[in-house]
């Protein structure tokens, strides 16, 4: 059983019994082997699928590092590193830390900003000039050193919609209730996804956000194949991806357990 599933009233609203919580169908599986990214697929804006421009995603010291030292100007080259197979019901966990400085030319909103996408479209269906994958994002933010709160483990919705507090959430991003974590601090994040029903975000052991019924919709994404985008279609499964937005970030201990 999953010790973090502390949302029985929400399950009842969805017509589920708290006595029928999701159960694991297998043990934890390492999505990242600590040695290479051979099981992953790169897609960077302005580049073809599979082209790891500038060695953006690299493996060093047992970590996946996102770096921009070969870029020059950032030029909106937002990137994503997709695991090779899709998932539907799962529990994902990983550690991340922000480091370094924002790349020259990256938008100001991307400072100390990255994320993990899920229920994403197949990376092989993303066009060269499509800026974001149609997906749900567990947004990762870091403190700016100014003493102001900046929660992490938020939700953003490129090309998608979610239901929050009983209705479709109208804004692009939804803040969690997490604490603020500064640069160079490792943060443990977890994501529990039950198909197209309930989604739970967990930061350092605390449940910080819950919402439900992810589906295609909304805006933000440009340049996509119109035959793929179907507003209102429930998102029952999809690909998991690590994001690159101009701020260096490290990922490690990326593991997933399938649920039913």
**Cα–Cα distance for residue pair 218/135, rounded to 1 Å:** 11
Q: Looking at the domain assignment, is residue 200 inside a domain? A: yes
Q: Looking at the domain assignment, is residue 41 inside a domain? A: yes
Query: Which one, of 197, 239, 242, 234, lies nearest residue 79 by Cα?
Result: 242
**Cα–Cα distance for residue pair 250/184, rounded to 1 Å:** 9
> Averaged over 12-23, what is the pLDDT?
47
Least confident range from 16-25, 62-71, 245-254: namely 16-25
Q: Looking at the domain assignment, is residue 15 inside a domain? A: no
Q: Looking at the domain assignment, is residue 3 inside a domain? A: no
Q: Half-sphere exposure of 174 toward its Cβ, with a 13 Å CA cutoff?
A: 23
pLDDT score recorded for residue 18: 44
> Averaged over 103-107, what is the pLDDT?
97
Residue 216 · residue 64 · CB < 8 Å: no
pTM of the model: 0.89
pLDDT tens for residues 198-255? 999 999 999 999 999 999 998 788 889 999 999 999 999 999 999 999 999 999 999 9
pLDDT at 142 over 90: yes
Q: Looking at the domain assignment, is residue 2 inside a domain? A: no
**CATH number of residue 231's parent domain:** 2.60.120.560
Banded pLDDT at 23 (limits 50, 70, 90): low
Residue 158 · residue 58 · CB < 8 Å: no
Task: Give me the percent of the chain exceeding a pLDDT of 70.
Answer: 90
Domains in the chain, number: 1
Mean pLDDT of the chain: 92
**Cα–Cα distance for residue pair 258/260, rounded to 1 Å:** 7
Q: Looking at the domain assignment, is residue 221 inside a domain? A: yes
pLDDT score recorded for residue 62: 97
pLDDT score recorded for residue 5: 40
Domain range enclosing 54: 24-258
Q: Looking at the domain assignment, is residue 4 inside a domain? A: no
pLDDT score recorded for residue 25: 57
pLDDT tens for residues 177-201? 999 999 999 999 999 999 999 999 9
> Averaged over 48-63, what is the pLDDT?
98
Q: Looking at the domain assignment, is residue 107 inside a domain? A: yes
pLDDT at 19 over 80: no
């Amino acid at each position: 059983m999953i010790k973090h599933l502390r949302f029985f009233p929400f399950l009842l609203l969805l017509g589920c019994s708290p006595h029928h919580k999701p159960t694991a169908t297998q043990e934890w599986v390492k999505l990242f082997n600590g040695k290479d990214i051979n099981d992953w697929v790169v897609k960077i804006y302005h580049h073809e699928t599979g082209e790891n421009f500038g060695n953006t995603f690299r493996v060093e010291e047992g970590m996946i590092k996102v770096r921009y030292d070969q870029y020059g100007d950032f030029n909106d080259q937002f990137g994503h590193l997709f695991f090779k197979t899709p998932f539907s019901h799962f529990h994902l966990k990983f550690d991340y830390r922000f480091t370094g400085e924002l790349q020259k030319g990256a938008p100001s909103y991307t400072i100390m900003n990255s994320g993990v996408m899920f229920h994403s479209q197949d990376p092989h269906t993303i066009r060269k000039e499509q800026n974001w994958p149609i997906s749900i994002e567990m947004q990762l933010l870091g403190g700016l050193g100014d003493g102001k709160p900046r929660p992490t483990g938020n939700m953003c919705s490129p090309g998608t919609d979610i239901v929050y507090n009983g209705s479709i959430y109208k804004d692009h991003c939804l803040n969690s209730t997490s604490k603020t974590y500064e640069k160079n601090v490792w943060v443990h994040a977890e994501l529990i996804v039950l198909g197209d029903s309930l989604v739970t975000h967990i930061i350092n052991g605390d449940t910080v956000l819950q919402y439900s019924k992810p589906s295609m919709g909304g805006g933000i994404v440009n340049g996509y194949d119109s035959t793929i985008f179907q507003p209102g279609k429930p998102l029952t499964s999809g690909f998991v991806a690590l994001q690159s937005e101009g701020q260096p970030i490290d990922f490690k201990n990326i593991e997933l357990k399938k649920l039913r």
